[in-house]
Each structure stands twice: as structure tokens, then as C-alpha cells.
């Protein structure tokens, strides 16, 4: 299980002022909830454009469906998705700001991308929403890590056999990147993750950068009754890593996140229903993007994201 996934750092974002009045107003105010189709063209990325979002003071809530994000009134009105162990659930497993976009990695699906309709206008709150999906190819696999490779957002896919063995075939390539020129994720080679220990077959499962700036990754033996695990680190993912101990692997997560005090946050988010939590926050110009999940550890039910124009606490 991903070490940082349920750290208390995420909980620091959950204890935020209740905004139920704003949510009620958003449901009643159709103008604030309009979503307009927006085409992609030769001047923009090759990704599939889903919509132009007219954001305002009232949040726009989206849940993740099998065909992409769906607009809902609030997380409480999301579909009653069955609780599923997190490796096999549909949720946002990571979010990063990249070249003027907010990129979200969606487990079992692909990438969702939000970007300004007019990048030259710094104060615009209109966002284009794009979907760059694996077209069902990713469905049997888990998005284990979200990182930057060759200056592009990248996802590491693997067969998670902790909760169940779905019998998915091994992947010829485990890493896929988001590229402006492609409407689908592109396979990429990362040499460090393809230098397997003796025996096998092996797959990389988790990759992250430690507080020392080095890359750490975990590899696991597959398709055997007794499955060994090995840990590695490297300063350069284009080169083979060195094997490390279990303790060195665990220590690579220490000091990885600072927990801010609630009063230090320059914004506030709407309160969520019971069993729902925020899992990440990013800012794109004057718009906040926050990912959320319905959780019963270690399972995920409904999941999605919210966008809202930024406003300071106390407004």
C-alpha cells in the first residue's frame, strides 16, 4: 500500500470551514453550474476536450465515472459506487502542476487535465477540461506512482496482487506519459525500472523521490506462490539502481511532507459529508482544484474533484 496515501498531512486539509450555504446556493443557481463543450484544435494540445468550465464562487463538483468525469451537485449526490480496495478503485491517485496545467492521474483510467482557456490572461477563471485515457487498456492495472519523466507527467502501472489476483497479463511497458501531441498516453522506457533482480518475473510497483533527492523504488516478484520483494535507489532513473535494505526503504519516506496548521492555509474548502475526505489541493491561477474520496480504509467508494474560484478565509 502506498505509504503516503493516508498520511495525516492529508487530514490537515479536511478540517476546513463549513460552506454549506455556498453549496446550497450553487445547486439553486444554474448559471454558476453551466458546463460548455469546448473543442480542441491545432493551436492547442491533441487531448480530447471534454468541456469549458465557467468557474465561480460556488464549487463545481465532478465524480469519476467509467466514461469520464460527471458533474454532480455535491459529493453527497454522487453515485453509490461500491467500496473497492484502493488498487482496483477509480480515484485520483496523484495531482501535479505542469506547464500551466493541473494534471490528475486517475487510477484505472488515464489522465485528466485542467488548463486555462486563455493562458495569456492570468486572471481568467475559465478552465478547459481534457481527458487522456487508456481506452480500457489501463482497467486491470494500478497507477502506483505519479512523477515527472523526461519533462512529462508519467504514471507507473503494475499488477497489484495484494487484495486479489485479477490475472491481468504482464505489461511490456509499465510507464506511460502525457504528451501534448498525443490524444492517448504514450509508453515510455525508464531504464532503472527495467533492471530486474535475478529470477522473476519482476515488476516495479512504487517509485518516489526521497528527501535526499534520490529516487527510491520497490520491485516485486510476480506469478509465483512465494513472491519476493526488493528495494532500490538511484540518482538517475536512466541508470540501474542499487539494492537497499528494508530499513533504508522505510526511511526514504521520512520528512517527505510538512503538515500545515489550519490557520496557515490561505483558502478554505467546502465541508464534505461523513466518510469523505480531500486527498490533494492545487492552484491554477485564481482557481483551486481539490480531489476527494469516499473512504472506508483500505477501500474507496465515490471519488472525484472540485474546482472553485479562490477566496480567502472569512469571506
Residue predicted with more confidence, 215 or 311: 215
Q: Is the pLDDT of residue 303 over 80?
A: yes
Summarised one tens digit per residue, pLDDT across range 41-90 is: 445 799 999 999 988 888 999 999 988 999 999 999 998 889 999 999 99
Summarised one tens digit per residue, pLDDT across range 246-283 is: 999 999 998 675 545 545 566 678 899 999 999 999 98
Residue predicted with more confidence, 123 or 305: 305
Extents of the domains making up the chain: 8-189+260-309
Summarised one tens digit per residue, pLDDT across range 141-166 is: 999 899 999 999 999 999 988 776 66
As a whole number, mean pLDDT of residues 105-118 equals 90
Say what percent of the chain tops pLDDT 70: 76
> Do β-strands 92-98 and 215-221 pair in parallel, antiparallel, or remain unpaired?
unpaired
pLDDT band at residue 16 using 50, 70 and 90 as cut-offs: very low
Residue 34 CB contacts under 8 Å (≥ 6 apart), including other chains: 54
Residue predicted with more confidence, 104 or 200: 104
Amino acid at each position: 500500500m502506498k505509504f503516503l496515501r493516508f498520511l495525516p498531512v492529508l487530514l490537515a486539509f479536511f478540517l476546513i470551514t463549513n460552506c454549506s450555504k455556498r453549496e446550497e446556493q450553487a445547486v439553486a443557481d444554474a448559471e454558476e453550474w453551466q458546463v460548455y463543450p469546448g473543442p480542441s484544435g491545432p493551436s492547442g494540445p491533441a487531448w480530447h476536450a471534454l468541456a469549458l468550465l465557467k468557474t465561480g464562487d460556488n464549487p463545481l463538483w465532478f465524480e469519476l465515472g467509467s466514461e469520464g468525469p460527471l458533474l454532480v451537485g455535491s459529493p453527497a449526490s454522487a453515485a453509490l459506487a461500491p467500496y473497492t480496495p484502493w488498487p482496483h478503485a477509480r480515484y485520483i491517485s496523484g495531482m501535479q502542476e505542469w506547464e500551466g496545467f493541473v494534471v490528475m492521474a486517475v487510477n484505472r483510467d488515464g489522465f485528466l487535465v485542467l488548463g486555462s482557456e486563455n493562458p495569456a490572461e492570468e486572471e481568467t477563471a475559465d478552465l478547459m477540461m481534457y481527458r487522456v485515457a487508456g481506452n480500457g487498456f489501463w482497467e486491470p492495472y494500478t497507477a502506483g506512482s505519479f512523477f515527472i519523466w523526461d519533462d512529462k507527467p508519467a504514471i507507473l502501472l503494475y499488477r497489484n496482487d495484494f487484495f486479489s489476483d485479477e490475472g491481468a497479463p504482464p505489461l511490456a511497458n509499465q510507464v506511460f506519459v502525457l504528451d501534448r501531441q498525443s490524444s492517448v498516453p504514450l509508453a515510455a522506457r525508464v531504464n532503472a525500472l527495467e533492471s530486474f533482480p535475478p529470477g522473476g518475473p519482476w515488476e516495479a510497483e512504487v517509485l518516489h523521490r526521497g528527501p535526499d533527492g534520490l529516487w527510491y523504488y520497490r520491485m516485486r516478484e510476480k506469478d509465483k506462490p512465494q513472491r519476493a520483494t526488493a528495494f532500490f535507489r538511484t540518482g538517475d532513473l536512466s541508470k540501474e539502481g542499487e539494492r537497499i535494505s528494508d530499513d533504508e526503504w522505510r526511511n526514504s519516506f521520512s520528512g517527505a511532507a510538512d503538515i500545515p496548521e489550519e490557520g496557515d492555509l490561505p483558502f478554505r474548502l467546502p465541508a464534505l459529508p461523513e466518510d469523505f475526505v480531500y486527498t490533494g489541493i492545487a492552484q491554477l491561477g485564481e482557481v483551486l482544484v481539490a480531489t476527494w474520496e469516499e473512504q472506508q480504509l483500505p477501500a474507496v467508494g465515490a471519488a472525484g474533484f472540485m474546482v472553485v474560484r479562490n477566496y480567502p478565509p472569512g469571506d
